[in-house]
Chain A
Amino acid sequence: MISQFFILSPQRGDTLKTWHKEHGPDQDPPPIFNVDGVQILFTNIQGLYFVCTTKFNVSTFMTFELLDRIASLIRDFCGILSEECVRLNSSLIYELLDEVIDYGYPQTTSTDQLKSSIYEEPVPVKKENIIIDSIAKLRAHGTNLGFSSNKPISKPTANSHDEGRYKQNEVFIDIIERLVACFASDGMTIHAEINGSIQIKSYLQDNSEIRIILSSNMTHGRDMYYSDDRFGIMFDDYKFHESVDSSEFEGHRQMIIFPPEGEITAMIYRISGDVNLPFRVFPQILDVPESPNKIDVIIRIRADFPEDKIATNCTVIVPLPHITQSVSNEHLDGFADQSARYDSRVRKVFWTINKLKGGTEQSLKIKVTGASQFSPAAHLEIGPINLEFDIQNYTCSNIQIRRLKVLEKSDSLPPQRWVRYLTLAESYVFRI
């Protein structure tokens, strides 16, 4: 099966040399390639390359899932995943790999099972070296979790002394929705899709049962669309983690979860079609009559979500024609916490609004001066305009946890339950 396994760190100068030799340094290597009969498969997880090689005709899906799982196991056992953490905890990771893979065959990756056979204690990474911007982590593509809690899972053997005053008995639940949307130049929605996931990070002591009831009015499949009420949420597809008993999901929107310690993605779902999109951008390109080598681009952004929600880190990215020479920006309204800068290297304007309240509007005028005359074709090069944002405490699908119960076996303190809703832009594109 798998012949070798590596963790490489591109920041330290590890690169996939053989690939770049053949294809030049600019081209990203695809995740699978072949060097002299050796298959190389790798994934990039939080800036580290997890690489494995094999001589067999393996299943790509299984291999990538395995690499991903190893990364999340390291995260579970060490608390975080970073180059420094891997370096400090090398012996713990050796121990883990020894149990997870034997002679290239995956054995077990369940944290519960592994906990009993792992003896090494995690070495904590110094606080100041951790980048705690977990939202930044989330924004990176992929399903990596970005929980604020970076504690490693507890060991059955560990005494309570290292947990200080209060016992670690809590569970974090994230409902994260990533938005994919594409708008035509006339403002029509071409495509909109929500990719949602319910992620759980559990520090519960004895695998307690968690019951989650989602806000109802959900139906599965598009066929049901015309059925009951139009406020219902239509899933295109969803699937659950193995530890979830979903038998009552159809009827009562109830999930019964027995989460193992550590992170799991309890449910993922996909909703497309009629999605309430939180933002609209109205771009406008104006030729300046008196000087043909100038054009003005006016961007108006409107926040269409409830007023009590605030979108943070909104960034509108506007590509400009390749003959652009200089750019000046003018904020048309509002004093809001915003800035716009032009990056001449990539020829894009980045307009950042740190906080944008629901129901409000902002506009920006970009004055572009070209090296030569702008032809009408130059308009084609402006765009597609891309928008990035995140909205906390808001889900586009209106999915909400109506009830969250943790059934405790012991009489210990009731566990802390933490919930967070988050909507992120995965790909929010406006064509010109």
Chain B
Amino acid sequence: MATEKVSFLESQQSREIIELSQLLQETSDNVTTSPSGLPLSAKRPVIKKILEAMAAGIDVSSIFGNVVKAASTKDLVLKKLAYIYISTQAEQNADLVILAINTFQKDLHDENLFVRGLALRTLCSMRLSEYVPYMLESLNSALKDSSAYVRKTALISCIKVFHLSPEHVLDTTLIDQLYKTLGDRDPEVVANCVVALNEILHSQGGMTVNKKVALYLLQRIRDFNEWHQCLILNTLVRYKPNEDDEIYDIMNLLDDRLKHHNSGVQLAAMKLFIYLTINIPEIHEDLYKRVREPLLTLLSLGNPEIAYSCLEHLILLVKSAPQLFQSDYKQFYRRIKEPSFVTLKKLELFQEVATDINAKEIVDEISCYITSDNGAIANKSIQTISNIAIRIGSILTYSLEIFIKLLETGKDNIVSGIITILEDLLNESPDKFDGLLSVLPSIWASVDLTSPAGPAFLNLLMTVGNTLPETPYILESLIEDIENYPGTSFRLQLLNSSVALFLLRPAECKDMLAKLFKYTMKSTEHLEVRERSLFLYQLLRFDIETAKKIFDFRHETTKISNKNLWNTTKGRPLYEFNTLSITYGKPSEQFIVDTGPTFYWQSNQEIDSQFSPTLEFDTASEHNRDTFTLSSENPIDADANVFKSCWSKFINSDQLEISLPETSMLVKSLTLDDIEDVFKESNIFTMASGNTGDVLKFFLYSKEENSHVLILCELKINIHLASANINIKTGYLPQDEIGSDAQETELFKYSQHFSHYLTTCLQNLKNLISEKLSYLKNLTNNMVSNKEYQTYLDSERIYTCSKCHTHLAEHKELISKAFQGRLGRAYLFNAVENVCLGQKEDRTLITGVHTVKDISCIGCNTVIGWKYVSICLSRRSEVQRE
């Protein structure tokens, strides 16, 4: 019956698939234009259905051919969907893929770069080694494509082809080509290139990172997007600088990465820092201090998963630098809404962070978790307090007091948990159990004796409770009931405890011990128990003195030193920082199955010679610009004559015109002095300035600090045309002039720098203007309203101004709709936002004379209603409903 059903379902499904296939064929490929102006094919819904079926696990491989046909379309969405289908179904239809190759070939030369990228991505995603030649061919041309998008796709595709057929990739010059691509202009291409090299050369330890490559990547680090920064920082970990200075340079360069908004980048940077300083212990310490705040912020503000990973890393750091978080323990307090896995990790951390100073407060905090509903948290909390108490002696008594108080609650899981750990605690300080005496008899009913707490309870009973009057009775009732407690360890402990008690109080225990021996010697299921029972029996029979010696607990000094256990984890290496290893607490070999192929690649040439970064990027020139600083000293002391003579003497000049949108129209609001001040702040001095109608004219001068180049400038700001005309002349003052040719060539460079500099100054001008304007605006606005922005309301139904859509009131504030105003229907609201009040006045309304204030919308100043002043706080507004 069942099989029939399944086959029926299957046939039903395959019929549906065939129908879909027919539908796909029949649907005309008429590409209409969608409302948004993109081509839209009628086949789109059909292929969506096919993909849905595929996602649901239905076999859709039979219609491969039809989908391939559908892939050649102008509708890009349809094409993408068809390609998703092709890449997943290719393996089942290896022989049919040749049909698709044609489409791929065509798309690889499409004019749309996304289509080219898509085709390449899909082609190389097919795990069919017989098509590798096609892939390699298209890769070669794609790596030289004009579009960065296609190039970066090609690089990832290299990895795919490599895994498909390593020999093919290693045989070609592809790797040489990859090393060359490292110098690409586009950062995404470079990043993917690093990724590809790392993966292809995985068996050789990844890409070669020598000084040249490392510095190159570091210089461009800000160009990469956040994910690529993570990957590249991780790659740079392999670089070992030779000199300390270089280490400091790298750390300075990457310092702000520690504050990046993406925690992946932050942690990658931290890891790199740790690697760099691993041999310089004094900096290492300092480094820990620097990562402290960022990690704490991540813990507080990240989502729970990030917080979880963060805690793991904190635990690791605390182990290496125990003092580091000593005063931050409050940050680790439990938050009521956090998932239990975070709390459990926090407990682990508390255990590490606790010191003499903070232990009491930490124990106080943890003791609050013990009454929590979550059993795992309660248990772990008890465990953690006990571990802290064992490590820090000063807190031991206090912890015991807390435990004893908690025992009185009689809550099952708490009692069992505490009993289990009390044994360890009492071993630490055998003289502190007086308080326990009174509680012990009353709690035994709440102890879950089948759990590990059972034996622990019995042990306590004989160590602590041997003088209590109730003890024999407790044991007796347990012996009566022994069949319900099958645990081996429980029975062994029961034997021990009974014998021990018998030795102290023989009269009370004789009968029950006999009963116990009888039962345990008879039972055959637990050999261990039986043997122990026989042994004890013989011991008591023949040598009662020795037995007494053995069971005399008061002299027992078996200190199970948990302190030793403690230190073993301390040296956990930081080498696998920011990886899963930290989570599992073991090196990656233990949980990562490396199945990657091992192939070796020998380059014909030295890598250095292949990788020649084309220094097109700006870092070189930027570097120079940094040294361009203008002297703050006035070079010619406002001597107009010197200026004039220089202006006429200097031949090197540079003219340019820049447009100043939205600035110049407003320059009028500034005085000439204002503008001169801005220049002066930037160390540019003004010789003369004037205002001729639409044109503001300035003569400016300045001196470069290092090279003594004097820069003169004529600046004309045309308000009407919204443009600035800059004429720059450079030269040397007579006393600085040396007259070498080298200086002459420098001059041009400086004039360029200056023009740059001036442009930024003009930008500053813009800021000044807008600030000034908004100040004026504020002044005027204050008359109407002092709000520059509007408060927005957030609820399902809101009422807004019918003119400008400013949010006014929430639906829940509505009191009545049955109101009549001057202009029609009105609603009465309890509270209204984004309005400003008018003058108080008495007005005769339908219900009598009221003191009211008009209210108007702050967005458009329309009067929208009135507010009753005399009655309480009801406001009322005529608004459009939305």
User: A residues near B, CB below 8 A?
Assistant: 26-32, 34, 37, 39, 41-44, 55-68, 90-91, 94-95, 98, 102-103, 105-110, 117, 119-121, 132, 134-135, 140-143, 146-148, 155, 157-159, 161-162, 166, 172-173, 180, 182, 190-191, 193, 195, 197, 236-242, 265, 268, 270, 272, 319, 321-323, 346, 375-378, 380-381, 383-384, 386, 393, 401, 403-405, 407, 416-420, 426-429, 431
Contact = CB atoms under 8 A, between A and B. Distances in A.
Contact of B303 (A43, A109, A240, A323): A43
Contact of B789 (A135, A319, A404): A404
Interface in B790-844: 790-796, 805-807
A265 B35 CA distance: 33
A143 B301 CA distance: 7
B160 to A, nearest CB: 6
Given A28-B340, A142-B304, A381-B409, 20 more contacts: A31-B341, A34-B591, A39-B580, A61-B578, A90-B48, A91-B48, A94-B51, A95-B77, A180-B333, A241-B261, A270-B296, A319-B371, A321-B409, A323-B410, A381-B371, A386-B336, A404-B789, A416-B805, A418-B790, A429-B368
Contact of A159 (B35, B376, B410, B795): B35
Contacts of A110: 225
Contacts of A146: 794
B592 A55 contact: yes
B262 A34 contact: no
Given A239-B261, A378-B409, A404-B789, A32 B805 contact: no
Contact of A57 (B228, B259, B581): B581
Given A31-B305, A90-B51, A420-B792, A107 B152 contact: yes
B301 A404 contact: no
A432 to B, nearest CB: 9
Nearest to B297: A237
A401 B121 CA distance: 47
Contacts of B334: 427
Contact of B77 (A56, A91, A109, A426): A91
A120 B336 CA distance: 42
Contacts of B55: 90
Contacts of A57: 576, 579-581, 588, 592
Interface in B404-448: 405-411
Interface stretch (B263-271, B391-399, B496-504, B557-565): B263-271
Contacts of B774: 403, 405
A380 B226 CA distance: 48
A323 to B, nearest CB: 8
A67 B583 CA distance: 18
Nearest to A56: B592
A225 to B, nearest CB: 15
Chain B, interface size category, equals 35 or more
B583 A91 contact: no
Nearest to B409: A377
Contacts of B301: 143, 195, 197, 268, 270
Contacts of B339: 28, 141
A87 to B, nearest CB: 9
B260 interface: yes
Contacts of A182: 330, 333, 365
Contact of A191 (B231, B330, B340, B805): B330
Interface in B618-665: none
Contact of B368 (A31, A42, A132, A383): A383
B459 to A, nearest CB: 23
A393 B791 contact: yes
A413 B122 CA distance: 44
Given A107-B152, A242-B260, A37 B371 contact: no
B291 to A, nearest CB: 12
A428 B361 CA distance: 18
Contacts of A147: 794
Of A57, A58, A63, A319, the most chain B CB neighbours within 10 A belong to A57
Interface string B55-80: 10000000000000000000011001
Contact of A94 (B38, B80, B788, B792): B80
30 contacts: A30-B308, A31-B304, A31-B305, A31-B341, A37-B592, A41-B305, A55-B592, A55-B595, A61-B264, A62-B227, A95-B77, A103-B156, A106-B228, A140-B337, A141-B335, A143-B301, A146-B794, A159-B37, A173-B789, A180-B335, A237-B296, A240-B259, A265-B261, A375-B409, A376-B408, A383-B371, A405-B774, A416-B805, A419-B789, A427-B338
Nearest to B767: A211
Given A141-B304, A141-B339, A380-B409, A59 B234 contact: yes
A380 B267 contact: no
A214 B331 CA distance: 26
Given A148-B792, A404-B788, A384 B368 contact: yes
Of B361, B410, B580, the most chain A CB neighbours within 10 A belong to B580
Nearest to B335: A427
B673 interface: no
Nearest to A140: B337
Contacts of B576: 57
Contact of B309 (A37, A39, A61): A61
List the 5 closest pairs (A to B, CB-CB), nearest first: A62-B264, A377-B408, A418-B792, A427-B335, A106-B227
B360 to A, nearest CB: 12
B306 interface: yes
Contacts of B584: 34
A165 to B, nearest CB: 9
B34 interface: yes
Nearest to A319: B371
Of B159, B300, B376, B410, the most chain A CB neighbours within 10 A belong to B300
B677 interface: no
B102 to A, nearest CB: 22
B691 to A, nearest CB: 27
Contacts of B736: none
B856 to A, nearest CB: 18
A66 B300 contact: no
B52 interface: yes
B795 A236 contact: no
A78 B789 CA distance: 27
A195 B301 CA distance: 6
B322 interface: no
B789 A401 contact: yes
B227 A141 contact: no
Nearest to B775: A403
A66 B225 contact: no
Contacts of A404: 788-789
Contacts of B36: 121, 155, 157-159, 162
B593 interface: yes
Given A30-B341, A65-B306, A132-B795, A59 B267 contact: yes
Contacts of B306: 61, 64-65
B232 to A, nearest CB: 12
A176 B309 CA distance: 24
A418 B789 contact: yes
A30 B585 CA distance: 15
A105 to B, nearest CB: 5
Interface in B756-806: 770, 774, 788-796, 805-806
A346 B372 CA distance: 10
A255 B92 CA distance: 56
A272 B301 CA distance: 13
B35 A119 contact: no
Interface string B229-272: 01100100000000000000000000000011111101110000
Contact of A419 (B76, B337, B791): B791
B81 interface: yes
A148 B789 contact: no
B790 A108 contact: no
Contacts of B794: 134-135, 146-148, 420
A62 B405 contact: no
Of A66, A322, A404, the most chain B CB neighbours within 10 A belong to A322
